[in-house]
Amino acid sequence: MHAESLLDITMLHADTLISNAQKGEEKALNQLVSLWYKRIYNYVHKYCSDDDTAAEITQQTFIAMFRNIKKLKDIDRFKPWLYRIATNFCYEESRKQKRNRTVSLTVTKEDETEEQIEVGEAKGNFFNPERSFQQTEIEGILLSSLGELNEDQRTVVIMKEYEGLKFTEIAEALDASENTVKTRLYRGLKNLKGILERKNITRETVHYEL
């Protein structure tokens, strides 16, 4: 039997796991973590593009799940509920980083010079037409490009295009209407396409996969 089939079977019994977890069964809680950890980590990593931050937010997400799962009234809404928790932690981390960047603007001239040299070298490497892009480099470009989208657009693009959530699930996770979600997706994909094209990345260069 294929691994995907096993996962599908496990997902079919997810309601039972959630119900048992709400009763405080530790085994069920741990199984839910095993079932959802990779998906939530991948989602968060695409949002923040940092391994350590993604691991930390994922851990926070499941700690919050442990503490609040008894409050979930409809177990059929577990999926968007879990994504909402993860998204809120992502937004919180973004705000924290923005505050830190504002504080760190008072860098010394020496530090600024070193940073400019590093960026210049990176640009030189990136735009070298003879360079053979490795898959990890392409993934890095895609992640950084996603990071250039505004918060709302980035979240919807990742949820729909990479996580495969339904519009109804995204709307519930973000507490927004489906029409709002669709508008954010359209604008997000349009802006992402423009960002990638400015970096000389087109559909001929790479498929939008991570």
**Mean pLDDT in each 10-residue stretch from start to end of the chain (210 residues)?**
49 80 93 94 94 96 96 93 97 86 50 36 39 61 91 96 95 96 96 90 58
- How many CB atoms are located within 10 Å of the residue 153 CB? 21
Q: Return the domain boundaries, the chain.
A: 1-103, 129-210
Topology of domain 1-103, per CATH? Rna Polymerase Sigma Factor; Chain: A (1.10.1740)
Q: Is 169 left (phi over 0), alpha (psi -120 to 50) or beta?
A: alpha
Q: The domain at 129-210 falls in which architecture?
A: Orthogonal Bundle (1.10)
In a 13 Å sphere around the CA of 96, the CA atoms on its Cβ side amount to 9
C-alpha distances in angstroms, 175 versus 80, 81, 178? 10, 10, 10
> Cβ(146)–Cβ(90) under 8 Å?
no
Against a cut of 0.95, is the pTM above it? no
The alpha helices in 159-201, defined as continuous H runs, are: 167-174, 178-198
